[in-house]
Copies of this chain bind each other. A is one copy, B any other.
Amino acid sequence: MSTVKVSNGANISSIEVEDGVSLLEAISKIKDMHVDASCGGKGTCGKCKVKILKGSLANPGISEKKYLSAKELENGYRLSCMVPVTGNIDVLVNGINEKSQILTAHNGFTGKLNPLVKKKYLTLVKPSLEDQRSDLSRVLNAIQLVNPEVSLSQRQNIPAILRKADYSVTAVFSSDSLLGIEEGNTENLNYGIAIDIGTTTIAAYLLNFNSGETIDTISGLNSQKIFGADVISRIEYSMQGVGNLKLLQEKILTQVSDLCIFLAERNNISRKNIYSIILAGNTTMLHLFYGIDPAGIAVAPFIPGFLGVMSLPSSVFKDFPLSCIIFSLPSISGYVGADIVAGILATKMHERDELSLLIDIGTNGEIVFGNKEKLYCCSTAAGPAFEGAHISCGLGGIPGAVDSVELSDGQITCSTIGNERAIGICGSGIIDIVAVLLKSGLVDFTGRILDNDEVDGKSKTFLEEMLINRGEPAFLVTKASESGEGKEVVFTQKDIREVQLAKAAISAGILSLLNKAGRDLAEIEHVFIAGGFGSYISKKSAADIGLIPASLLDKTESVGNTAGLGALSCSLSQEDYYTTREIVKKTEYVELSSDSFFNMKYMEEMVFPEY
Contact = CB atoms under 8 A, between A and B. Distances in A.
A301 B163 CA distance: 13
B129 A300 contact: yes
B308 A159 contact: no
A296 interface: yes
Given A134-B307, A136-B308, A594-B129, A159 B293 contact: yes
Given A135-B306, A152-B290, A128 B301 contact: yes
Contacts of A301: 127-129, 131-132
A298 to B, nearest CB: 12
A305 B159 contact: yes
Given A159-B293, A296-B159, A307 B129 contact: no
Contacts of A308: 134, 136-137
Interface in A289-324: 290-293, 295-296, 300-308, 310-312
A334 interface: yes
Interface in A89-147: 127-129, 131-137
Interface residues of A, number: 41
B591 A136 contact: no
Nearest to A133: B303
Copies in the complex: 2
A290 B156 contact: yes
Which of A152, A303, A591 has most B Cβ within 10 Å? A303
B591 A310 contact: no
A256 to B, nearest CB: 16
A304 B134 contact: yes
A156 B306 CA distance: 9
Nearest to A589: B132
Contacts of A487: none
A155 B300 contact: no
Contacts of A127: 296, 301, 303
A301 B126 CA distance: 10
Nearest to A283: B134
A189 interface: no
A293 B129 contact: no
A70 interface: no
A380 to B, nearest CB: 16
A333 interface: yes
Which of A292, A307, A312 has most B Cβ within 10 Å? A292
Interface string A372-384: 0000000000000
A160 interface: yes
A68 interface: no
Contacts of A476: none
A593 interface: yes
A155 B307 contact: no
A158 interface: yes
Contacts of A133: 303
Contact of A155 (B158, B296, B306): B306
Contacts of A304: 134-135
A565 B152 CA distance: 26
Interface of A: 127-129, 131-137, 152, 155-156, 158-160, 163, 290-293, 295-296, 300-308, 310-312, 333-334, 589, 591, 593-594
30 contacts: A127-B301, A128-B301, A129-B300, A129-B301, A132-B302, A132-B589, A132-B591, A133-B303, A134-B305, A134-B306, A134-B307, A134-B334, A135-B296, A135-B303, A135-B304, A135-B305, A135-B306, A136-B305, A136-B306, A137-B306, A152-B310, A155-B310, A156-B290, A156-B292, A156-B293, A158-B305, A158-B306, A159-B292, A159-B296, A160-B293
Given A127-B303, A155-B310, 12 more contacts: A129-B302, A134-B306, A134-B334, A136-B306, A152-B290, A152-B310, A152-B312, A156-B290, A156-B291, A156-B292, A156-B305, A158-B305
